[in-house]
Amino acid sequence: MTQQNLTDEPPTHSHQLGMRLSSTRRGARLARQLAVQQFTEWTGLAHDSDPARAVALVTAELASNAITHGRLPGRDFRLELLLLPRAFRIEVTDTRPERCPGRPATEPASPDVPWGRGLLLVEAYAERWGWHGRDAFTKTVWAEVARPI
């Protein structure tokens, strides 16, 4: 439940999967489905377990932010999944490095407003999250969801 702007490499991992997806709602939906599928395959936990639901929610928010705030026409986003010793790490890389995520609002948005809760949800469901610039053309936002060991 901490946010960090880290430039160091992610921790050692035992499994990794990465892919490019279209910067569309369909691409974001596919990212969520793939993350849950991979999480359950690697951990043996059920799709309806609390950790799998947290992975679904966090992935959906990161992917949604990538296609909403980090999109350039004709450019995809990248989803990277890593199984760490104590967590499942979700990384989403987009093409707008100048649009860095800030601290989530301390109060949720008004119930009448359909946006403004994404990072608040990530903050609530992830053990840690943060972002870093990979190069002059991309940034990566990542979150780690705890997993039973």
pLDDT at 2: 47
Query: pLDDT (tens digit, 9 = 90+) per residue, 16-42?
Result: 999 999 889 999 999 999 999 999 999
Report, as an integer, the average pLDDT of 110-119. Answer: 57
Superfamily holding 2-101+118-146: Histidine kinase-like ATPase, C-terminal domain (3.30.565.10)
pLDDT at 135: 82
pLDDT band at 87 (very low <50, low <70, confident <90, very high): very high
The answer to whether 36 and 55 are in contact (CB under 8 A) is yes
Domain-by-domain residue ranges, the chain?
A: 2-101+118-146
Q: Parallel, antiparallel, or unpaired: how do β-strands 15-21 and 139-146 relate?
A: unpaired
**Smallest Cα–Cα separation from 145: which of 23, 43, 18?**
43
Displacement of CA 75 from its chain's centroid (Å)? 18
pLDDT at 122 exceeding the cut of 70: yes
The answer to whether 141 and 129 are in contact (CB under 8 A) is yes
Least confident residue range of 4-13, 38-47, 75-84: 4-13
Q: How many CB atoms lie within 10 A of CB 95?
A: 19
pLDDT at 11 exceeding the cut of 90: no
**Smallest Cα–Cα separation from 83: which of 134, 35, 16?**
16
**Smallest Cα–Cα separation from 47: which of 58, 59, 35?**
35
Give the mean pLDDT of the chain. Answer: 83
pLDDT band at 119 (very low <50, low <70, confident <90, very high): confident
Q: Report how far residue 77's alpha carbon sits from residue 24's, in angstroms, rounded to the nearest whole number.
A: 9
pLDDT band at 100 (very low <50, low <70, confident <90, very high): low
Q: How many CB atoms lie within 10 A of CB 36?
A: 23
